[in-house]
Amino acid sequence: MDLDESIKLESTEVNKLGSNNFVQNSYILMIGYLLSSIISTIGSILVVRLIPVKDYGLITIAFILPSILIPMGELGLNYASINFIARKMKENDLEGVRNVIKINMFIKIIVGICFTFFIAYFSVFIAKEIYNVNDERIYFMIQLTSIGVISIMLYEAINSFFIGAQKMRLVQFGTILNASLRTSMQIILIFLGFTLIGPILGFVIPPLIVVVFYLFFLKRAFNNPKVKREKTDWKELSRMIKYGYPLLIFSIIAGIQGQIFILILSIYGYLNEVSFFHVAVITAGIISILNKAISFSLFPIFSKMEWTDKN
């Protein structure tokens, strides 16, 4: 079979996938992201109305550094995991899929722990010297937000595994579950009197709960007792980083620009404006749902194509 015939066959496969899986997967993800964004937006508006605006500003400021470090610590491995898992699933290489999962999970745990301890240890310095906030309450708040670094990194990593395997309904359910738990936990804790700590706990604990839920299905989805387990092939890590770093640069730029604006507002003492800006950003995020759903659905489809340059 020559190259032209191979390309035609691949195009036919992509067209079939496009007519079947692509539309369905995009629809599933879009519904999940839409519902979770609506739930999160409603939760943010309720939190703003239930606590003083200045307190909500402190909560938002406490999350600046974790929100910047999370996309940086991603290292492009989630994008690479979607691509590599989709390819290996097509080749029925279940051991290779597990190798990708183990590498990503191990790196995220190590990086997440390092970031968590860094934020917790330097919380006072971060508040005073970086955020320009002298309110003593924010020290403990920053320490609590550090927990969210590892929980969100693991949550997003496992989402990428399921997207690569095209198990979109699991991603949809996990996304909605995370948003629902976060909103309900924040509101309940505020009514119980935890007006500052409550919203933070409601943000960092739900991803851990969803991760535990995910782990059960992760084992079932990629476990094959007939396949002999092999040691982790760490050479795959360099290939994953090589593939993912261009997308990593984009995600860092897209992820931290809002946090930079919040940091600027906090430096100049506009705590009320921080609250309003954060709610506006969350609400505006609904607009990007369609693009996000389509892009993630396309990843597994194009990853299964045979390219001349294989990573």
Give the mean model confidence (pLDDT) for residues 60-67: 84
pLDDT band with cut points at 50, 70 and 90 for residue 184: very high
Q: What is the pLDDT of residue 1?
A: 45
Per-residue pLDDT at 275: 60
Cα–Cα distance for residue pair 289/35, rounded to 1 Å = 10
What pLDDT is recorded for position 72?
Answer: 83
Per-residue pLDDT tens over the stretch 232-251 = 777 888 888 888 777 777 77
The amino acid occupying position 193 is G
| pLDDT on residue 237 | 84
- Where do the domains of the chain lie? 7-303
Q: What is the mean pLDDT of the chain?
A: 76
Residue 20 buriedness (CB in 10 A; 0-12 / 13-18 / 19+): exposed
* HSE-CB for 249 with a 13 A CA cutoff: 4
What confidence tier does 29 reach under pLDDT thresholds 50, 70, 90? confident
Nearest 5°: CA angle at 253, between 252 and 257? 110
Mean pLDDT of the 189-196 span: 88
Confidence band of 205 (pLDDT split at 50, 70, 90): very high
pLDDT score of 283: 58
How big is the chain by its Cα radius of gyration, in Å?
21
Least confident residue range of 46-50, 75-79, 247-251, 265-269: 265-269
pTM of the model: 0.77
**The predicted structure's pLDDT at residue 276:** 58
Q: Where are the alpha helices (DSSP H) in the chain?
A: 3-17, 23-50, 53-62, 64-74, 77-90, 94-121, 123-125, 137-164, 168-191, 197-222, 235-267, 271-284, 289-303
pLDDT at 224 over 90: no
Measure Cα distances from 189 to 45, 181, 210 in Å: 15, 12, 19
Q: Is 194 helix (H, G, I), strand (E, B) or coil?
A: coil
